[in-house]
Structure 1
């Protein structure tokens, strides 16, 4: 059991401003998820295939931006990249107003994905610096909870805007929220960490400038779990339609999102006090049980209970894995570490949706969802290996110090 002395406050003005800034940016982002496909088809006269390409452009740009963001955060400065990326996000959001052609829309979506990847990597790095070490998992749980709230509010707000008014009003509302994100972010008083001399003097190209090796193992575990998430967001609606329960998908996501929102701060406290393994192992077991239930669901109750178990599982796992990544590196490498972790998340969601689509075509949605339990089992095995490796290092460190003395 870890000792816990909360000598430093977590709910500082800077932490609250950063969390609120992130909430407004994520709300504007989530407003676009259900509405942009409608905008492309009805206003820009695009095809369903082009809707898929637009999503792909955004995701590709997001993945491409993260290693650059990680490097620039550790060299140029975190507050600068944080504000520049949010300002670019705002400018592009305003650019959607009066949009007429698909080509320009594709370009804007690529730039939007780039700015969003930069902005989320920057805020994910800064919040790790603002949270006291002894409350890191708890703090990341609360922080990511603001994004979970945006996931609940954003899609409903976006659909409400286009139904009550039009797309222009929706884009104005999105731009207003993005502007609030910039305004609140500019008020944050942030002290840049002391840079290691090698951080700025390295001139020759090396992948280590962009990817943090110490974060790779945990990031792979996260990627496996988020491949499952990619399958859920891509196919849960189609699965529900196949079962004759088309409307249940929306309720599933509501239960899932609220479960994450509840789980994150509670499990974060447990992880900080007793260790991450006390929430990661139960979280993975919860995900497995939820997926098995989802794959065999025949009723609304089964669907919602599956959403509850999967949400609680993800809510327990993700902040603790993120905290592990941050703890594995010195402060001047947190930008690269956060970028590495978020790249794995993007790749997991994208590859999960792609590969699981082929599996669904081959064996159906039930079989596809059931097969994703293998991803979680592999993640569980890798986390056990990681924990054993860390325990061995901890045991060896005192003996090496004793022999040196």
Structure 2
């Protein structure tokens, strides 16, 4: 059967959806797991922060290594590896008996995971470049859908069976994604390179690509900016007058507003990017997201805040797919696996730093000021890139575009 990037995108979307859902079924409930199952009564916030941070740090440090292997052996093998490792990791979550064992498993997850980053890299490298932005936009809706469905499933399972049992559900969902990767995911043939690679050399090569380094910097800054406010949303919902007993539900609905907006908007922004360019789409997304975040300060009721979160999500849905599409344009095909792994590392570093900074600022200044910093950061980033031309890098003959251009009927 002829290779079809559209069919591949559909299959990868399903796999990413299951992995994202698996994460959201259990991981958001880790503070409850620490308190109720592992007996952490004192300094719960500190334990929670460390438990989350170690995974992001481990993932950021190991990502370039996995990216190098992906460029040498393919992205599909990385999906298979991550799928089986995550299946085992969630089973280990179910078995842990103290917080130290939990931190050990969290480090293991950070070192061995990477299913969704591998799907992003595979879509980016196996889709015609003129359709890459649209395909990446579609793919991003899989994680948005998972972030909507996952917490609902996790809440039901936790209520009926118990908090610990949510990890078994997560393990089963990831195993389905692992099975999908083995059976249905296709990747255009990769000829393993005979050149010996190392992470230091890859970092040096990346550093010589100024356009890529700018995009990685934007990714880190945007991720940190977003995560400055995300962990504080539940507290802010309480400040807006939500009942203590329903605060989790109200927060979940407001979190879902961003996910629903992403489901609607991401494919639209992908199509717009094909017409006007992904640099402009990135600028629009950052400006819209920044203004949307600033406006949240002015509305002090739950309904208005939820509507503004939806508007914020509608614009911010443009940002990450646009960044991924620009990375495709800025790198040679033979380096893209490593480029996307470096992008993952930047995302994870921002995701780790953001909550730390946000929590620190929330203790010093009001939560409204944290919203101001979040919105202003996005607007500043948008101004810095406003006149930047994100030029495409011409592939060398040895690194020719892996997508067969002539076989359009096969797409």
Superposition TM-score, scaled by structure 2 size:
0.86
1:41 aligned to which of 35, 45, 54: 35
The equivalent of 1:66 in structure 2 is 63
Shift of 1:349: 2.2
1:194 Cα deviation after fit = 4.4
Q: Map 1:170-181 to 2 at 5 A.
A: 170-181=166-177
- CA shift at 1:193, angstroms? 3.5
Distance 2:305 2:200 in 1: 49
* CA-to-aligned-CA distance 1:12-48 (integer Å, 9 cap, x gap): 1x22222211111111111123322211211111241
- Contact (CA 8 Å) 2:229, 2:374: kept in 1 or not? no
* 2:196 counterpart of 1:201: yes
User: Does residue 215 of structure 2 align to residue 234 of structure 1?
Assistant: no
Q: Hey, what does 1:341 align to over in structure 2? A: 343
User: Which whole-Å deviations, capped at 9, do the CAs of 1:300-335 have from their partners, x for residues lacking one?
Assistant: 232022202210121112111110011211111111
Q: Does 1:27 align with 2:29?
A: no
CA contact 1:234–1:353 (8 Å) conserved in 2: yes
- CA distance change for structure 1 residues 209 and 36 in 2, over 3 Å: closer, same or farther? same
2:163 aligned with 1:164, yes or no? no
**How big is the shift at 1:131?**
2.0
Q: Distance in 2 between matches of 1:9 and 1:273?
A: 23
Q: Give the count of matched residue pairs.
A: 381
Aligned to 1:224: 221
Tell me how far 1:385 sits from its aligned partner.
4.3
1:191 aligns to what SS in structure 2? Answer: coil
* Structure 1 partner of 2:262: 260
> Which of residues 230, 241, 251 in structure 2 aligns to 1:244?
241
- Secondary structure of the residue that 1:67 maps to in structure 2? helix
Instruction: Tell me: CA distance 1:159–1:210, structure 2 relative to 1, closer, same or farther (3 Å).
Output: farther
- 1:364-405 Cα deviation digits (max 9, x unpaired): 001111122231122112322432x749x99xxxxxxxxxxx
Q: CA distance change for structure 1 residues 203 and 297 in 2, over 3 Å: closer, same or farther? A: closer
Q: 2:322 aligns with which of 295, 320, 324?
A: 320
**Distance between the aligned counterparts of 1:342 and 1:204, measured in 2?**
15
| CA 350–203 in structure 1, closer or farther in 2 if over 3 Å, else same | closer
8 Å contact from structure 1 (residues 290, 310) kept in 2: yes
Give the gaps of 5 or more residues in structure 1.
Answer: 1-7, 395-405
Runs ≥4 residues deviating over 6 A: none
| Structure 2 Cα separation of the partners of residues 71 and 321 of structure 1 | 20
The answer to whether the Cα contact below 8 Å between 2:241 and 2:301 also exists between their aligned partners in 1 is no
| Residues in 1 aligned to 2:129 and 2:106: alpha-carbon distance in whole angstroms | 37
Aligned with residue 183 of structure 1, among 157, 179, 185: 179
String of CA shifts for 1:200-230, please: whole Å, max 9, x gaps: 2346943526856442211212222222220
Contact 1:268 1:319 (8 Å CA) reproduced: yes
* Residue in 1 that maps onto 2:292: 290
Aligned to 1:151: 147
Shift, 1:235, TM fit: 0.7
Q: In structure 2, how many angstroms separate the alpha carbons of the residues matched to 1:255 and 1:82? A: 29
Q: Specify the alignment match of 1:5 in structure 2.
A: none
Structure 1 residues 273, 193: closer, same or farther in 2, change over 3 A?
farther
